[in-house]
Structure 1
Amino acid sequence: MAVSTEHDTAAPGTETTDETATTGTGRRFGLGWLLGTLAFGLVVGLAAGLLVPRLQTPGDDSPEAGFLRDMSTHHSQAVAMSMIAHANSQDPAIVTLAGDIGLTQQAQIAYMQSWLRDWNLSPTGSQEPMAWMPGSAGSVVNGLMPGMATPDQMAKLREATGRDLDIQFLTLMRAHHLGGIHMDEGVLDLSTEDDVTWLAKGQIAAQQSEISRIDDLLKQLQTT
């Protein structure tokens, strides 16, 4: 039954202190009835998590929780690689890039872990890596998520020096960024949680920019 958007004008001497609404059939409802109806709708909406979705946080097996846990692990390796290059490279441009990546991704880890705590979830879960992303089983090799370096590659990076170190770092980080972007795009397809989508979009933009810097540095190294 539709409620009219127009109010009847009360006849002189019949005004009341309670505002009323009039339906198309002429039946009138007091302000109290309307407020009660709105309150009931609010309660139902809250119970369903529709009107205030922030009152409901992602669950333990949600794509958001899986993404934050996996991306924290993914970022941790990027930070480790960056610290190796920052400490050992003799190229100022690579030292700067490594410092930027390390600081940025460490800060993002702090964001992700904080959100998990806010949701009363453990920083680690029982699911396999990438289980939150449909069709991703083939992208996990020996437990490593997309773009992650193998233990052997990490060991070689630690032992490398000079130009060899620079090339290894840039090559590994480029692959690492591409894998991270793949994960970011995956969660954007699955989530509408504001913090998570904000982070994923920001990471895509930042890592695409860093890939361009990496490509420029690799070209310079290949011509020297």
Structure 2
Amino acid sequence: MTPAVRSSRPMVLAGGTVLLLALGLIALMLVRPSASAGSGPTTAAPPDSSVDVGFARDMSVHHQQAVEMSFIVRDRTSDEAVRLLAYDIINTQANQRGMMLGWLESWGRAKSSGAEPMAWMGHSFTPRGDGSLMPGMATDSELDALRAAKGKKAEVLFLKLMTVHHRAGAEMAQAAATSADTELIRNLAAGMVRGQQSEIELMADMLEKRGTKP
């Protein structure tokens, strides 16, 4: 009798484990629908015409040029302060751009559209065809001039172009921070406003040290 009892214990334990796992799976199946139902409005993708989607698209393009200009000046000067600023802009704005493009993908929204830039702000801006796709963006000729410049000349040109770029970017971000529906965009945009205004002040000081103004 004893051997029979001993051999049945593993079977009883295994059966109990399977039962617990089954009960756990049932509990998860019961909980998931109620959680998703309760969070429906907060997780729904914003519409294609929303501030959130329009801002994510436009600011991604705006950021892309800021990163491009920063890479250019990084290789045109040996000044540590300017190179550090360029490095910070590259890292910050490339990261923010990646976040916005990721959100667009998760929302099922295209990363670009045929709508006019800034339409989500209630603005009408028609690209001039010279590379300046939105307010604050540098033209193709200005980028060419930056590529051709060296040393102090490159530093001054970069700081002036980036100041204009940041001012327009901060205006866009402020509009999104106050008008977007999703907390993701409101929080990101508010952080952009603070960061770019701080860098505008820094660049004004850097230009003054170089004997010029924004």
TM exceeding 0.5:
yes
Q: Structure 1 CA distance, aligned partners of 2:85 and 2:112? A: 29
Give aligned pairs, total.
176
Q: Does 1:73 align with 2:61?
A: yes
What's the counterpart of residue 167 of structure 1? Answer: 156
| 8 Å contact kept, 2:178–2:186 | no
Q: 2:71 aligns with which of 63, 71, 83?
A: 83
- Aligned-residue offset at 1:145: 1.0
Question: Which structure features the higher share of helix residues?
Answer: 2
- Aligned-residue offset at 1:167: 0.4
Q: Structure 1 CA distance, aligned partners of 2:209 and 2:183? A: 40
- Aligned-residue offset at 1:126: 2.1
Q: Structure 2 CA distance, aligned partners of 1:145 and 1:186? A: 15
| 8 Å contact kept, 2:56–2:100 | yes
What's the counterpart of residue 194 of structure 1? Answer: 183
Q: Detail structure 1 runs of 4+ shifted over 6 Å in the superposition.
A: none
Which amino acid in 1 is paired with 2:50? S
TM-score by length of 1: 0.73
Unaligned runs of 5+ in 2: 1-33
Q: Does 1:93 align with 2:81?
A: yes
What's the counterpart of residue 154 of structure 1? Answer: 143
Residue by residue over 1:160-179, the C-alpha shift from the partner in whole angstroms, topping out at 9 and shown as x without a partner, is 11111000000000000000
- Aligned-residue offset at 1:188: 2.4
What's the counterpart of residue 100 of structure 2? Answer: 112
| Structure 1 segment 207-222 matched on structure 2, within 5 A | 207-222=196-211
- Aligned-residue offset at 1:141: 4.8
SS in 1 for 2:119: coil
Which amino acid in 1 is paired with 2:114? S
Unaligned runs of 5+ in 1: 1-42
Q: CA RMSD in A?
A: 2.1
What's the counterpart of residue 137 of structure 1? Answer: 124
Q: Structure 1 CA distance, aligned partners of 2:63 and 2:109? A: 19
Q: 1:125 aligns with which of 105, 110, 113?
A: 113
| 8 Å contact kept, 1:60–1:125 | no
Q: 1:60 aligns with which of 44, 48, 51?
A: 48
SS in 2 for 1:137: coil
What's the counterpart of residue 14 of structure 2? Answer: none
- State, as a whole percentage, how many aligned pairs show the same letter: 39
Q: Structure 2 CA distance, aligned partners of 1:126 and 1:218? A: 38
Residue by residue over 1:164-222, the C-alpha shift from the partner in whole angstroms, topping out at 9 and shown as x without a partner, is 10000000000000000110111223213110001100101111111111011101111
Instruction: Rate the CA distance shift 1:96–1:55 in 2: closer, same or farther, 3 A.
Output: closer
Q: Structure 2 CA distance, aligned partners of 1:99 and 1:55? A: 34
Q: Structure 2 CA distance, aligned partners of 1:78 and 1:132? A: 21
RCO comparison, higher one (Cα < 8 Å, 6+): 2
Residue by residue over 1:82-137, the C-alpha shift from the partner in whole angstroms, topping out at 9 and shown as x without a partner, is 00111111211000001101111000011001100110111112211111111x11
Q: Structure 1 CA distance, aligned partners of 2:88 and 2:158? A: 14
